[in-house]
Every structure is written in structure tokens, then in C-alpha cells.
Structure 1
């Protein structure tokens, strides 16, 4: 396994955001949880806020703002799974 695993949320074909697969599992877990909590917190806020006045672009930005930390957190959690 390569030491650095690219996150799926890289904006270009050349990854610049990477997970250190040799990082201690507690560090991966802490960083994953931070990102997941951030994404969930944004989704909870969106659920409690009326969105009638948002444009299509604003809606996309809100969805992307929740998606990015959730996907990054998932990528980090996947590094904690045993690989066969």
C-alpha cells in the first residue's frame, strides 16, 4: 500500500490532498470525525432552515459544503479498515 492515499475530493486530476496511511489510527479517526461532524452540522442547519429563497447555484454550494467534509471523513475512515 502506498503511504499517501489521495482524497476523492481533489479538484484536479493530479491529487494534492492526501491521507497519510501510516498515521496513527487515532489521528485518522480524530480527523475523520471532525470532518464528519462538520458535514453533519451543516446538514442539520440546512434541515432547520427554509431554502425557498436560494438560487440553484447557492443550493449547489450548500450541498458541496456538506459533501466535501463527509467524503474526506469517509476516505480517512476507509484507511482504518484492514486491507487484504
Structure 2
């Protein structure tokens, strides 16, 4: 297994953000929870507001803002799964 694994969500074909798989698992877990909480908090805020037709143009930016930290958190959690 490679020590540094790229995050799945990238702006380019070359990954510049990576996960250090040699760190203590508690660090991976805490970072995963932080990112998932951030994404979930944004989704909760969006769910509690009714979007108006004029704000629909911003919907992609809002979805991306929630997706990125959640995907990063999932990537981190994947490292905590037992490897076969």
C-alpha cells in the first residue's frame, strides 16, 4: 500500500492533496469527522432555508461546498477499514 493516497475529489488530473496513511488512526478519524461535520452543517443550513428561483444559480456552488468536505471525510474513513 502506498503511504500517500490522493483524495478522490480533485480539480485536475494530478492529485495534489493526499492522505498520509502512516499517521495514527485517531488523526485520520478526527480529520474525517471534522470534514463530515462541516459538510453536514452546510447541508443542514441549506435544508432549513427555502431556495428562491434567483438563488438557484448558486445551487451548484452550494452543493460543491458540501460535497468536497464530505468526500474528503469518506476518503479518510476508508483508511480506517481493515485491509484484506
Aligning the two structures, in what range does the TM-score lie when normalised by the shorter sequence? over 0.9
Query: What residue ranges of structure 1 are gaps of 5+ in the alignment?
Result: none
Task: Tell me what 1:10 maps to.
Answer: 10
* C-alpha separation in 1, matches of 2:13 and 2:82: 27
Task: Tell me what 1:59 maps to.
Answer: 59
Partner SS state of residue 9, structure 2: coil
Shift of 1:10: 1.4
The Cα offsets for residues 27-84 of structure 1, whole Å up to 9 and x where unpaired, read as 000000000000000000000111113133x100000000000000000000011111
* C-alpha separation in 1, matches of 2:10 and 2:20: 15
TM-score by length of 2: 0.95
Q: Where in structure 2 are the equivalents of 1:4-83 lying within 5 Å?
A: 4-52=4-52, 53-56=54-57, 58-83=58-83
Q: Number of paired residues?
A: 83
Query: What residue ranges of structure 2 are gaps of 5+ in the alignment?
Result: none
TM-score by length of 1: 0.95
The runs of at least 4 aligned residues of structure 1 exceeding 2 Å deviation read: none
C-alpha RMSD of the superposition: 0.7
